[in-house]
Structure 1
């Protein structure tokens, strides 16, 4: 089973959610698409209707053409234990970590038997005490989403997870809006999460673009989770909040690039020494604008800064004003220290 280590590199999670629309074959197609894009993990949602919802659960948005109730929709989204095991095997065969968000204690038990690399606790489950403790007791890593939670609720969830023995914890900033507008992303929260809980943070993004995830990595996020769609023309309520598999590839490339850059801090003084030959080529030297005789006292109007470097650099201009030439110079000839007699300072 692939191990997720967000302290070693940024983890990119492709979220399938309900985009398979109840088709096991489509779910497998998502695994291949997310693997081909170079992500680290694929995440599903495990719904067991009878354990999760009452039959009168209201629709958030009634999008279904075939389900009269939300309960019927969750029922249609269920896979058998055998189906889930097949998804896990396929995921691991493609080199990805297999994740799923459980939405009931029965779903936790099902996934425990199937095997998950880490748990993802969805935003709506942050106050579900029984589910938090069941997840924590497995000792596996946990990604906790915060899309609907106050700080007090998150405090309680983090304390409970840690107290019940959860593995390494990452708390993700999230806004439960589909799609999420730029002014509601909450990128400012990433640093507060990291400081408040002394743990890695990241972004569970519903914007439908790659930009917030890239920004979150630049701000120190260690986990990026985005909904994925195979096409903008696919059916499903999450399509507007998803990135395409091609966009996911671009996102992964950007995340790897930014992560590598942040892992290699630059010493500006050391770089200046290393690039000294280029400084000579691209730098400038003070030259005389016109022919000047020996004994001439230099003024600002006598001098210009021109490439290449190697002579007296322009930053010494004020230092040499008032100096007397020891020899005659022709136009564009660079000044050297041996050419001038520095004027005494008052």
Structure 2
């Protein structure tokens, strides 16, 4: 494994997290809709668009069961995958569109034939679906290309992930292990943010593939050191498709991008609390408090606690020295709200 911190590309000088917008099957087989997703995602500032490449004959049989029966026009799951297919020329057009919009083009292959198709077109890296983590022949084909691998782990426990990482070790390619929970949508108690640091320590690099339909897990993951986050995206919550409940809207994706970049800036600029910046030091006299007389008192009065109060501005004896003032005598008459200085006092 590698501890390399640049994943697919470096988004900016203060950025460390690549933000991947997952279209998956949200285009519902419409090439025009797939292109519309690219334009919408580009406007959010995300770094990459990810599709899924399904070739029905290569990955499925007519007997494949539905995860959830959602389609009104596909008799079988196989029929649905068939309808999701694009031709090689159409895939090339999608990649070219991504490049025109300065987005990384990614697509998950679900068969060796799909891998060969994507390899001929060119991808920035390989996103491995949770169900393919044990598909050693496919993984090794990906690894031989030398491109980065992003591995979802939603259907595997640590022992199985360890085995996959061991398979990949000889290839010496950048590999990032993504915490993923295969629930659509995923409830907050199942997101597993604790695994961001666990995977980074165990495998060298980590990320989050989220199905919550919220922006909060990815924001948290970025602050925990995730080097890539992936969220499903929908153009509208009224769209058709099985992933809509597990998706963020384009508007929410824009908020996510803004939030991650904001947090990265904050995290990359630590504040040294051993010294105050000049801008803050200048505010101290305005906001800090001084010891004041709370009623008119005559010279020679021995000050008691109930003679004193702490009030702004902070240009007199600091409020934290109030107890040292108790028992001192006034050198001169003092009006109410007089800010005491040490010159006003004697033992």
How would you bin the TM-score normalised by the shorter chain? over 0.9
Match of 2:144 among 116, 125, 137: 137
Distance of 1:67 and 1:159 partners within structure 2 = 40
1:38–1:249: 8 Å Cα contact kept in structure 2? yes
What does residue 46 of structure 1 align with?
A: 53
What does residue 196 of structure 2 align with?
A: 190
In structure 2, relative to structure 1, the CA distance for the partners of 1:159 and 1:8 (3 Å cut) is: farther
Task: Report how many aligned residue pairs link the two structures.
Answer: 339
What does residue 118 of structure 1 align with?
A: 125
Distance of 1:186 and 1:137 partners within structure 2 = 31
> What do the CA deviations read for 1:171-223 (whole angstroms, capped 9, x no partner)?
21111100011111111221111111122x22211111112111222222221
Shift of 1:235: 0.9
Larger mean CA deviation between 80-89 and 4-13 belongs to: 4-13
The residue matched to 2:276 in structure 1 has which SS? helix
Match of 2:342 among 327, 337, 345: 337
In structure 2, relative to structure 1, the CA distance for the partners of 1:155 and 1:84 (3 Å cut) is: same
1:4–1:118: 8 Å Cα contact kept in structure 2? no
Distance of 1:10 and 1:163 partners within structure 2 = 26
Distance of 2:228 and 2:276 partners within structure 1 = 31
What does residue 187 of structure 2 align with?
A: 181
What does residue 232 of structure 1 align with?
A: 237
Shift of 1:147: 1.0
The residue matched to 1:275 in structure 2 has which SS? helix
1:152-171 to 2 correspondences below 5 Å:
152-166=159-173, 168-171=174-177
What does residue 178 of structure 2 align with?
A: 172
Confirm or deny that 1:98 pairs with 2:116.
no
Distance of 2:315 and 2:207 partners within structure 1 = 48
> What do the CA deviations read for 1:232-259 (whole angstroms, capped 9, x no partner)?
1111100111111111111111111111
Distance of 2:175 and 2:168 partners within structure 1 = 8
Confirm or deny that 1:270 pairs with 2:281.
no
Shift of 1:8: 4.5
2:176–2:204: 8 Å Cα contact kept in structure 1? no
Distance of 1:25 and 1:261 partners within structure 2 = 39
What does residue 290 of structure 2 align with?
A: 285
Shift of 1:3: 4.6
Match of 2:310 among 280, 305, 310: 305
Given the two structures, how large is their TM-score scaled by the length of structure 1?
Answer: 0.94
Distance of 2:161 and 2:305 partners within structure 1 = 65
Shift of 1:165: 3.3
Distance of 2:304 and 2:103 partners within structure 1 = 69
- Tell me the C-alpha RMSD between the 2 structures: 1.7
In structure 2, relative to structure 1, the CA distance for the partners of 1:160 and 1:5 (3 Å cut) is: farther
What does residue 5 of structure 1 align with?
A: 10
What does residue 318 of structure 1 align with?
A: 323
2:15–2:264: 8 Å Cα contact kept in structure 1? no
What does residue 87 of structure 2 align with?
A: 80
Confirm or deny that 1:259 pairs with 2:255.
no
Gaps of 5+ in 1: none
1:136–1:162: 8 Å Cα contact kept in structure 2? no
Given the two structures, how large is their TM-score scaled by the length of structure 2?
Answer: 0.93
Shift of 1:324: 2.1
Distance of 2:254 and 2:300 partners within structure 1 = 68
Shift of 1:163: 2.1
In structure 2, relative to structure 1, the CA distance for the partners of 1:162 and 1:8 (3 Å cut) is: farther
Gaps of 5+ in 2: 1-6
Distance of 1:135 and 1:162 partners within structure 2 = 13
Distance of 1:76 and 1:324 partners within structure 2 = 92
The residue matched to 1:42 in structure 2 has which SS? strand
Distance of 1:217 and 1:308 partners within structure 2 = 41
